[in-house]
Structure formats: C-alpha cells, structure tokens
Amino acid sequence: MRKIIHVDCDCFYAAIEMRDDPRLADRPLAVGGSADRRGVIATCNYEARAYGVRSAMSSRHALKLCPDLLIVKPRFDAYRAASREIQRIFRDYTDIIEPLSLDEAYLDVSDSTHFSGSATRIAQAIRQRVQEELHITVSAGVAPNKFLAKIASDWRKPNGLYVITPDQVEDFVAALPVSKLHGVGKVTADKLGRLGIGTCADLREWSKLALAREFGSFGERLWNLARGIDNRPVQVDSRRQSLSVENTYDHDLPDLAACLEQLPGLVEELHGRLARLDNSYRPDKPFVKVKFHDFTQTTLEQAGAGRDLESFKLLLSAAFARGARPVRLLGVGVRLIDLRGRHEQLELFER
C-alpha cells in the first residue's frame, strides 16, 4: 500500500504578498491583472473569498463583488523563489516528488524512513517547516493514492491536515459527492444528477459496462474512483509538452464575436502561466481549442505565429469557422520545447 502526500499552499501568491508586506494582511487582496485591461484574478486571500471572489474570475467582476478589493500585480520571481524553498523541504523527506505547479505537489513517502515511515508525521513536519522557514501555510492530505490525497488536502483548508487511512477508504469514498471526483466538471455532474447519481455509493450501483455506455472511456475511470481505486504513480520527472488555459461557459457563446470578447482574459492568464515556467522550456507554436455546443471540438495551431492577442484572434477565427456553431468551451495554449536535453547536447560541442 502506497503512502501519498498532496501538499497545497494556501492562496500562495496572495500569501507571499501578505508575508512580504504585512500591511496587506486582514484586508481583501487578490493577485491578478488590472480591471481596466480585462485582467483576470490569479488567486486571492480568504478575506476576498468571503465576498465570492475566485481565481480565474475577471478582475472587473471581482471588484463588483468586493469594491474594497486590492488587486496587486503578480511577482513571479518571488513566487518561484518560495516554490524552490518548499521543494527543498520536500527533498529532505523523499526524492519521489511530482510538482503540479509552483504551489502544489504529490510526494510518495512509501519507503521513507523518516518518523518510522509515518506519512502523517512527515506531512506534519513539512507543514511546520514551511510555516517556520517561509512564514506561509500549506495544507496537506495523506492517503493511499493520488486521487484521495488531493481530496484530503482540500478537506481542512486553510492550514489543515487530513488523513485517509486504508481502512477508512471504503466509507470515506462511499459518502463522497461525485462532483468531487477528478475530471467531473459541471456538465458531467449534471448528467450524473439526472441519472440519480449524487454520491459514490450511488455510482457503485452501476456496472462498468453501463457507465461506459453513458460516459465512454471516462466511464471506467468513474467506476474505479467510486471505489477509491487510483493506480497512477507519482511521476518524478513529468515534463510538459504544452501549457494551456481553458474555460467552460455557463451559457454557450452564440457567435464568433462573443468568442473574441472572451479571448483577452484567456490570453492574459496564459501569459501569467508562461511566466511561471522555469527556463528549461521554450514556448513554441500557439494553439486554440474550441468545443461547440454539441461537444464536437477542434484544435488549431500554427508554427511561426506570435503569442500576442492579435495572433490568437486569427487562430480563433479560423478554428471557429470549422464549426460555426455556439461554443461551450474556449482554450488557448502553446506547445513547449524541452530545452533540458538540448542544452546538455549543446554543451558537448561548446566545450
């Protein structure tokens, strides 16, 4: 049985801002783009969340919800530096680490000898050290697999620790709402609800074949998750091939003009995520993804095109023309070139 820890920093960017400028504490704070430039919220503190402000929300809408909200520009150098320090702490306990972003990661401590192999005590030690050394808080979840560890880390946020032991998996998962399952978005959750499936206990009443008929290949995944089964290993060296941002809209976008209106916010968020990449990657071809109201979708990329707003407008216009129907999801992204192996090869010739 594996021992997996999922560590997730609490409102990471905002926490760093409040740490570095204590005057920002105890007031609604967000990190993101300017409302005047159709900016998007990257993250916010819990004071702002009390007003309904959320990440990926437009800055203009966030200010309507919370007029006293202070929006500060992101400082990615500071966030990357803090992330490196957190990673250093992780490595004191295990080398099997899968970073998901600057502020969260999976750790496999199955074979760790620290604290007599207790994953719970390792998680406690990590949380304590991050707070003492970096003066921010993290939440952690401990479980036999990645799926449950990620859910557990969110169970007692902020600054919490939740443990799901192997003998607790059966009952914990049975009571779990299906909306908590990885990969179940609003559309799938609504479909499950129409089928009378609200919890994993309900889901267990369905056979694997019946779920496959309703949900295709995702049906088998649902069958496994409803039983707490997740055999994915912690990937020590998971290298990205692309980076993207996408959004599913509550109401279908009726035409190209409506789609183009949504583009600036998506592109700004993409640029923010690109700024967080380490220098072992180089952005390459931009692409757009369009999913129409009937769930058909298309992806269009172009070598040599820019990553500016105008270039994405041209790509989106061409992609929309392939279906010319109302749109439920838009995405923008770039393919990535992994420079790490290429750099090592160049050094052989330059010495």
Catalytic site residues? 104
Residues 155, 164 contacting (CB under 8 angstroms): no
Non-local (6+) Cβ contacts of 82 within 8 A are 12, 16, 102, 134, 136
Tell which residue, 8, 30, 6, has the closest CA to residue 17: 30
Give dist(CA 122, CA 10) in Å, integer. 18
DSSP 222-277: HHHHTTT---PPP-TT---SEEEEEEEEEEEE-SHHHHHHHHHHHHHHHHHHHHTS
Strand residue runs (E) in the chain: 4-9, 29-32, 41-44, 70-72, 97-101, 104-108, 138-143, 161-163, 242-253, 281-292, 297-301, 327-338
4-9: strand order across its sheet: 97-101, 104-108, 4-9, 138-143, 161-163
8 is in an annotated binding site: yes
Tell which residue, 195, 228, 196, has the closest CA to residue 213: 195
- Buried b / exposed e over 281-292, threshold 16 CB at 10 Å, is bebbbbbbbbbb
Strand partners, 30: 44, 71
Six token digits for residue 4: 């997996």
First CA to last CA distance, the chain: 47
CA of 224: how far to CAs of 167, 186, 200, in Å?
A: 17, 20, 10
**Cα pseudo-dihedral 209, 214, 218, 219, rounded to 10:** -30
What is the residue whose two structure tokens read 């009952």?
A: 171
Give dist(CA 62, CA 56) in Å, integer. 10
The one-letter code for the residue type at 342 is R
Q: Which residues are annotated as a binding site for Mg(2+)?
A: 8, 103
Q: Which residues are annotated as a binding site?
A: 8, 103
